Structure 1
Amino acid sequence: MYERPGRRTRPEHNEWSTSVKISVIGCGYLGAVHAASMAELGHEVVGIDVDQDKVESLSQAKAPFYEPGFEELLGRTLATGRLRFSTDFGDARGSKVHFVCVGTPQKRSEYAADLRFVEGATESLLDVLAPGDLVVGKSTVPVGTAARLADLVSSKVPGAILAWNPEFLREGFAVQDTLEPDRLVYGIPDDVDGETARALLDEVYASIRERGTPQVVTDYATAEMVKTAANSFLATKISFINAMAELCEATGADVKQLADAIGYDDRIGRKFLNAGLGFGGGCLPKDIRAFMARAGELGADQALTFLREVDNINMRRRIRMVDLAREVCDGSLVGKRVAVLGAAFKPDSDDIRDSPALNVAAQLQLQGAVVRVTDPAAVENSRRLWPQLDYAATPEEAAERADAVLVLTEWKQYRELDPAAFGKVVKQKRVLDGRNALDRDAWTAAGWSYRALGRRHG
């Protein structure tokens, strides 16, 4: 069922909200932002996590990850007294709504999602649940997980209910996407328990609903599939334009102009048609692989075979970038100094999970290049996971006497570099725009040799 309430002037977040006691299980990226946002909406919230250091950091209003606006939100909501964090699951007792926000990483050596954390969090909640309590899954899970967990909850705590309420956060916009979502999706039972679950979720999201946010109220399976279907579509769109970039390189066409031209068709749209190094992070790669794995388990694997090629196209972009770097460095990377601007998988984040930029940097180093990596937010995370790489604090430091500069994460700071001034620190004015983010005309006018995936030479 789809509903769109009548729009009203945007209120303060807690104008209509009655306070609900909420627990948030798992205080990583999703859970911490959700906990603070629920407190911002006027609810009384406790965030539960097994990581003592993380809980202490959050309790002191120090964000354990980089996300614009989150630390300010955290400090503000802690100061109200409506938000606290704990390592004790017992502190969730007495809450009416319990959000499960733990991770579902890809299993080692498999495509399938690892559900140990979701299952563990749900089982831990059984000791504190009371009849009438609502457990709300927000983690991205394979279809069928919610029904199985609902049976577990109701069998162990009669009267307790489970709902599925997928998240749609974009890293870099997580606070905005939680407080001002573009839709609310409820997966609930088709009975009186479903009516109770919907009423509780409506109470939690009262001020968001009053702003006219669209609602989709549906069954468990559909709610579970919404997130993976959305991510699969976005991944397909990205890989489509990157496949076109491969053809552009073979034909001499220009992929940016191609994307502009087809993007004017409102059935297609210009968003996510930026050819380049491809996608990474903790969602798109593992979600499309888990989607394929689950389809295979259900005997419907042929429906998603196209996603295997989507994944393959994405990974080929990294190989092509290394090849292009070798090409501009006169056919050999051995001993060449290469600056890599960007380590996070996307700008406005310190997330380096499945980072295309770091993957390329490591491949360059393995092929004999002297690589220096810089990033505005992700250097420390990168250093812990990729200690074999060399790091710099600034683009200028990374590019000192460089034979080539690779822009692999489209941070605003890199898009706004002055190519004339920047050219004074390098040995060779060669730039590879891995994200098609730079002003090609400005860089070529400053004497740089400009190359990008799917673009004509500049």
Structure 2
Amino acid sequence: MVNVGVMGTGYVGLVHGAVLSSYGFRVTCMDVDEHKIERLNQGFSPIYEPGLEELLQSGIRKGTLTFTTNAQQVVQSSDVLFIAVGTPAKEDGSADLTYVWEVVQQIGKYINGNKVIVSKSTMPVGTSRNIEGYLGNMLKGTPYQAHVASNPEFLRQGKAVSDSLSPSRVVIGADSEEAVQMLKTVYATHLEQDVPFLFTNLETSEMIKYASNSFLAVKISFINELALLSEKVGARIQDIATGMGMDDRISPHFLQAGPGYGGSCFPKDTQAIVDVGRKNGEELYVVRAAIAANEKQKSKMVSKIEEAISFDGTLKGKTIAIWGLTFKPDTDDIRYAPSYDIIQGLLGKGAAVKVYCPQGMKQAARDWPELSGRIQYCGNEAECAQQADAIVLMTEWEQFRGVSWERMARSMRRNVFFDMRNMFAGDIAIRNWFQYYPVGSMEHGYSLREAQ
């Protein structure tokens, strides 16, 4: 039986470890946060991800999944070690590899036999090769070998467990046959499922991850720029996206106009690949343009709100209800969420801001201390909308479909609804009660209440 070690218990490491334990591998996950590890050993997930907590508790009950803060224990008891720590963006856009190298140094310090070391974190091109060189130097004069591989994750937050159980593809970069064979053993279930596998070298594997996320970010920024133009010329962005998506060379995926992309991957990965390009003498103009367009989109959404409900060029005296803080539904992740920039923009215009999110408020209170006392956290949608001049839907949580529009409208001072996700673009009922503003269309509509 293969013993698996996972260094890091964030979104990637935790899901990966839990899924591998469900396949019967003995998995030990390591993190430096003692309180977090204590809670994990009790079966409590520190993040909201559908199906994850049940998977954790199942692995703990079966004895295939344990958690520790002891790096030496994990390194020495594992045959394969996955590095799954964060690689956040620095101020200049480059990836911060501090946590990666802390883990690599611990591996080099405690290694007690031949190991396969797998880069699961998103790392700049060349990092796995540098890890290979570092460990090779550390092990000179010993009988041990460290076989390094790159195995990027392609998980969608909110669907991370299902994506890990049934991945769209598995990419493995390795020069070592030992590493390839170990990962074939680890992913035997996926091989049996006929999941597509790509075997390549370390640099290509690392590049695939950045290329994938950058392309998707470009696609989002492209449709968002067309949405802004559509509002000026009278076109409908949703029909444009549908027409484009009918072309199988384009596909309909990631053509949903909105307030801009966010999350833990697209913002930092686009910046990181631009930084890699710059350091290698190749400016990535298309990716740079996508980053700039994304920033413009968030600013445009603030202007859209201001232009619709302001009479004097400011939002002083106006109360805005924000529905949704997370960058997407079915996650509690607020990292780089467009809601943050839009809230800051509204506050800067003088508005009072109330917020409600099914899963993101605890994280916002913790990670956005600069907003403490400047925004009001609410217990539900109705409380958030009460006495507001406008609702701004930032995240398309499914539960928002169940609200009573009449109840919301009658509790507000003014009935304006900004649908930043076009979640209700096809719902005629909402136009009976609200002046409705989707993204990428001039068809605003007027509420019955205002018409009376």
Tell me which interval the TM-score lies in, with the shorter structure as reference length.
over 0.9
Give the aligned partner of residue 188 of structure 2.
206
**Distance (whole Å) between structure 1 residues aligned to residue 407 and residue 383 of structure 2:** 13
How high is the TM-score relative to the length of structure 2? 0.93
Q: Does residue 297 of the first structure (1) align with residue 279 of the second (2)?
A: yes
Give the aligned partner of residue 163 of structure 1.
149
Alignment of 1:135-284 (within 5 A): 135-157=117-139, 158-189=144-175, 194-284=176-266
**Distance (whole Å) between structure 2 residues aligned to residue 398 and residue 315 of structure 1:** 27
Contact 1:22–1:98 (Cα < 8 Å) also in 2? yes
Q: Does residue 434 of the first structure (1) align with residue 420 of the second (2)?
A: yes
Give the aligned partner of residue 97 of structure 1.
80
SS in 1 for 2:386: coil
SS in 1 for 2:223: helix
- 1:283-305 C-alpha deviation (Å, 9 max, x unpaired): 1001000000011111122xx11
Unaligned regions of 5+ residues in structure 2, if any?
A: 446-452
Paired residues in the alignment total 433
Indicate the larger mover: 360-369 or 58-67. 360-369
Alpha-carbon shift at residue 225 of structure 1 (Å)? 0.6
**Distance (whole Å) between structure 1 residues aligned to residue 364 and residue 85 of structure 2:** 23
Alpha-carbon shift at residue 131 of structure 1 (Å)? 3.6
Alpha-carbon shift at residue 439 of structure 1 (Å)? 3.8
Alignment of 1:371-450 (within 5 A): 371-384=353-366, 385=368, 386-387=371-372, 388-450=374-436
- C-alpha distance 355-445 of structure 1, shift in aligned 2 (>3 A): closer
Contact 1:440–1:450 (Cα < 8 Å) also in 2? no
Give the aligned partner of residue 123 of structure 1.
105
- 1:123-180 C-alpha deviation (Å, 9 max, x unpaired): 1111232342101110101101111111111221342211111001100011111111
User: Aligned partner of 2:309: which letter?
Assistant: C
- C-alpha distance 155-399 of structure 1, shift in aligned 2 (>3 A): same
- 1:287-333 C-alpha deviation (Å, 9 max, x unpaired): 000000011111122xx111111011111111111111112213331
- 1:56-107 C-alpha deviation (Å, 9 max, x unpaired): 1111111111111111111111111111100011111121000000010001
SS in 2 for 1:273: coil
Give the aligned partner of residue 292 of structure 2.
312
- C-alpha distance 341-151 of structure 1, shift in aligned 2 (>3 A): same
Alpha-carbon shift at residue 445 of structure 1 (Å)? 4.0
Give the aligned partner of residue 450 of structure 2.
none
User: Aligned partner of 1:322: which letter?
Assistant: V
- Of the three residues 301, 309, 329, the one matched with 1:329 is 309
Alignment of 1:2-41 (within 5 A): 19-41=1-23
Give the aligned partner of residue 55 of structure 2.
73
Contact 1:231–1:287 (Cα < 8 Å) also in 2? yes
Give the aligned partner of residue 82 of structure 1.
64
**Distance (whole Å) between structure 2 residues aligned to residue 246 and residue 269 of structure 1:** 21
**Distance (whole Å) between structure 2 residues aligned to residue 319 and residue 99 of structure 1:** 39
Alpha-carbon shift at residue 444 of structure 1 (Å)? 4.5
- 1:364-395 C-alpha deviation (Å, 9 max, x unpaired): 12211111010000111111223232110111
Contact 2:230–2:236 (Cα < 8 Å) also in 1? yes
Give the aligned partner of residue 356 of structure 1.
338
**Distance (whole Å) between structure 1 residues aligned to residue 61 and residue 383 of structure 2:** 40
Contact 2:386–2:408 (Cα < 8 Å) also in 1? no
SS in 2 for 1:424: helix
Indicate the larger mover: 97-106 or 310-319. 310-319
Alpha-carbon shift at residue 452 of structure 1 (Å)? 1.9
- C-alpha distance 425-121 of structure 1, shift in aligned 2 (>3 A): same
Contact 1:362–1:389 (Cα < 8 Å) also in 2? no
User: Aligned partner of 2:420: which letter?
Assistant: G
Contact 2:72–2:106 (Cα < 8 Å) also in 1? no
SS in 2 for 1:123: helix
SS in 1 for 2:82: strand
- 1:215-269 C-alpha deviation (Å, 9 max, x unpaired): 1000001000111100001001100101111211221111111111111111111
**Distance (whole Å) between structure 1 residues aligned to residue 274 and residue 108 of structure 2:** 31
SS in 1 for 2:411: coil
**Distance (whole Å) between structure 1 residues aligned to residue 69 and residue 252 of structure 2:** 44
Identity of aligned residues (%): 38
**Distance (whole Å) between structure 2 residues aligned to residue 196 and residue 445 of structure 1:** 62
Contact 1:106–1:113 (Cα < 8 Å) also in 2? yes
Give the aligned partner of residue 448 of structure 2.
none
How high is the TM-score relative to the length of structure 1? 0.92
User: Aligned partner of 1:23: which letter?
Assistant: G
Unaligned regions of 5+ residues in structure 1, if any?
A: 1-18
- Between the two structures, name the one with larger relative contact order (CA 8 Å, sep ≥ 6): 1
User: Aligned partner of 1:305: which letter?
Assistant: Y
SS in 2 for 1:126: helix
User: Aligned partner of 1:309: which letter?
Assistant: A
**Distance (whole Å) between structure 2 residues aligned to residue 398 and residue 80 of structure 1:** 43
Give the aligned partner of residue 15 of structure 1.
none
Give the aligned partner of residue 13 of structure 1.
none
Alpha-carbon shift at residue 446 of structure 1 (Å)? 2.1
**Distance (whole Å) between structure 2 residues aligned to residue 402 and residue 443 of structure 1:** 20
Alpha-carbon shift at residue 33 of structure 1 (Å)? 1.1
